[in-house]
Amino acid sequence: MKRVFAISIGALLLIAALVLFMPAQPGGTNPHGNLRWDCQSCHTSTSWTELRRPLAFNHDQTGFPLVGAHDEVQCMSCHQSLKFAEIGVACADCHTDAHRGQLGLDCQSCHTPRDWANQQSILEMHASRGFPLLGPHAVADCQACHINEQRNEFTGAPVECSGCHLSNFTLTENPNHPRAGFDLDCMSCHEPVAATWKQTTYEHTQTFALRGAHLEANCNSCHESAFVGLPTECAGCHIDAYQASFDPPHAEFGFPTDCQRCHNESRWQDATFDHLEVSGFELQEAHALARCTSCHVNNQLTGLPRDCFGCHESDFNGVTDPNHVQGNFPHDCMVCHNQSVWRPATFDHNLTGFPLTGAHVSLDCNACHAGGFTGTPSDCFSCHESDFNGVTDPNHVQNNFSHNCMVCHTTEAWSPSSFDHNQTNFPLTGAHVPLDCNACHAGGFTGTPTDCYACHQNDYNNTNNPNHQAAGFPTDCQACHNTSAWNQTTWDHDGQYFPIYSGKHRGKWNTCADCHVDPNNYAVFECIFCHEHNQQDMDREHQGVSGYVYQSQACYNCHPRGDEGPVIRIVPRRLDRIR
């Protein structure tokens, strides 16, 4: 039988018009044979080749309804002679039997008018004949199995796997089936429903369970020559690896060939040898990563020392910072070291009576222990004598400073020092705090006077507004000054003598010399220089005033607050008190 393909209705009608309705043969012969239908049922009067739409002819009346693909084909596909009554209605009348009678004449047992290759029908038919199509077989082309050199074969085809897959059996290399003597019962290892040929179902656990790296190995890795009679112990396959191992050298050390005592099936390198259980020496930190031969030299596995010095004597002897041999260090390495790394050491200096603090923590051991580790003094001066002697600000040697460095310094840093000046009789305040020590202690640090004048004599002598020396000011500087700033005086002119910062005279003067006309004697002052009165007028205004004279001292006696107006009382004052 042959497949029928649908084409468009337009093409069908065009061909039918050209073929079915060709002009009648000469003499009026009916091209359709004995068909006795009214021509106008199909043709029009416009053109012989133009068909009526829709056709009045009903194909169902012929006993062969047009369904499925038949409804879409051209008339000429079946009625090639145009004599419609001469064609049969059986499938074989139009469709050549591709099966050559092997499957009988009932085409409809597999095919339908709607679908030439109905998948479900084929599957059902195949199952009924004892070979259900499963997995890749269900989607394979029929000719992939039903063909020989001459023609398609649909009967007598073998149902065993090797009937079709013998070439696969023969050519398979991993494993090589013929050489391994495998039988042809493919179903013992393969599944017909598997997506690929390599998805086998062979249960290896029946002989040797495949786990870890074995599960991923190529079959030929173990089955080089045969698939039966192979050893199941590790050394049967891994004896070469056993012989070639060098860390540790298994053969030289006489290791047992029971590989599973140390190794697993995941990776050869991940050995599980329990060093503690066997030797009594647990491998920790750096020891766990070391090569076996680092400790087990000369193939010696037993009788090795367990103390650190037994293996690390050369390290002990070779260390120079600190020099363990010269320092007579104990051989108990764990006092200072651990098993992670050789450095840094974990020696607790607090156990020596000299805790390491501040800058001492980061020092090299030899910085202090250049001469050894026993008998090292713990006082600062013993190590810092050169620092003590070299300091110039202040000069420790000239000033006979104490050798107890901790009085002024800490272990954090040499500078700045932490000397508490409050412990002396002169606390540092104000401008004294940031001063260089030598600013006051130029002549030494002992016997330094604490009075202001001793350091500020030059300031006292050189001051001209007012001139302290000429005016005979007292040398008790604190009476007027403080330590914050030289010019911030505390002199109370208004309260003690005469209001110049308040009252009538506020803002009326510029310097002390405006009133104190004698720079060498501040007891001398003048009112008349500013208040230029006419003596004759003053005399008249002060008639009857007891003690009136035209003189500055007299003005002050009557006007002690600088006020005008009637005199209330006379308060004589002695200005020479400020001398």
> Could you report the per-residue pLDDT of 435-463, keeping only the tens digit for each?
888 888 877 787 889 999 999 999 999 98
Q: Which of 545, 425, 522, 417 is nearest to 466 (CA)?
A: 522
Q: Mean pLDDT lowest for which of 312-316, 480-484, 514-518, 572-576?
A: 572-576
pLDDT of 557 strictly over 60: yes
CB 187 within 8 A of CB 180: no
Phi, psi angle pair for 328, to nearest 5°? 55, 45
- Average of pLDDT values for 472-491? 84
Q: What pLDDT band is residue 279 in, cutting at 50, 70 and 90?
A: confident
- Average of pLDDT values for 400-415? 88
CB 120 within 8 A of CB 114: no
- Alpha helix (H) ranges present in 334-491? 365-368, 380-390, 437-440, 452-462, 468-471
pLDDT of 561 strictly over 80: yes
Higher pLDDT, 29 or 178: 178
d(CA 417, CA 420): 9
pLDDT of 272 strictly over 70: yes
d(CA 66, CA 446): 136
- Average of pLDDT values for 473-486? 87
Q: Mean pLDDT lowest for which of 235-244, 335-344, 428-437?
A: 335-344
Q: Is 60 exposed, middle or buried (0-12, 13-18, 19+ CB in 10 A)?
A: exposed
Average of per-residue pLDDT values in the chain:
81
pLDDT of 509 strictly over 90: no
CA–CA–CA angle 347, 279, 257 (5° rounding): 140
CB 43 within 8 A of CB 31: no
| Burial 333-359, CB ≥16 within 10 A → b, else e | beeebeeeeeeeeeeeeeeeeeebeee
pLDDT of 25 strictly over 60: no
Q: Is 523 exposed, middle or buried (0-12, 13-18, 19+ CB in 10 A)?
A: middle
Q: Which of 157, 132, 159 is nearest to 143 (CA)?
A: 157
pLDDT of 572 strictly over 50: no
- Average of pLDDT values for 284-306? 86
**pLDDT value at residue 430:** 93
HSE of 243, CA atoms in CB hemisphere, 13 A: 6
HSE of 372, CA atoms in CB hemisphere, 13 A: 8
pTM: 0.36
How many C-beta atoms lie closer than 10 Å to residue 177's C-beta?
19
Residues β-bridged to residue 376: none
The residue whose two tokens read 């050298």 is 249
pLDDT of 564 strictly over 80: no
Q: DSSP 3-state assignment of 82? A: coil
**pLDDT value at residue 270:** 74
Q: What pLDDT band is residue 423 in, cutting at 50, 70 and 90?
A: confident
Structure tokens at 232: 């199941």
pLDDT of 125 strictly over 60: yes
**pLDDT value at residue 461:** 93
d(CA 499, CA 443): 44
Q: Mean pLDDT lowest for which of 34-38, 68-72, 460-464, 498-502?
A: 34-38
Phi, psi angle pair for 369, to nearest 5°? -100, 45
Tens digits of per-residue pLDDT, 178-216? 887 888 988 888 888 887 887 787 888 888 898 988 988
Residues β-bridged to residue 467: 464
Percentage above 70 pLDDT, the chain: 91
d(CA 263, CA 273): 8
Higher pLDDT, 180 or 1: 180
**pLDDT value at residue 327:** 80
Cis peptide preceding 132, ω within 30 of 0: no
Tens digits of per-residue pLDDT, 134-162? 888 888 888 788 877 655 677 778 888 88
pLDDT of 420 strictly over 90: no
Tens digits of per-residue pLDDT, 69-110? 888 887 878 888 888 777 888 888 888 887 777 777 788 877
**pLDDT value at residue 287:** 92
Q: What pLDDT band is residue 13 in, cutting at 50, 70 and 90?
A: very low
Percentage above 90 pLDDT, the chain: 14
Higher pLDDT, 217 or 577: 217
**pLDDT value at residue 387:** 93
**pLDDT value at residue 317:** 95
pLDDT of 28 strictly over 70: no
Q: Output 65-68 pairs: Cβ under 8 A, ≥24 positions apart.
A: 67/113, 67/114, 68/112, 68/113, 68/114, 68/115
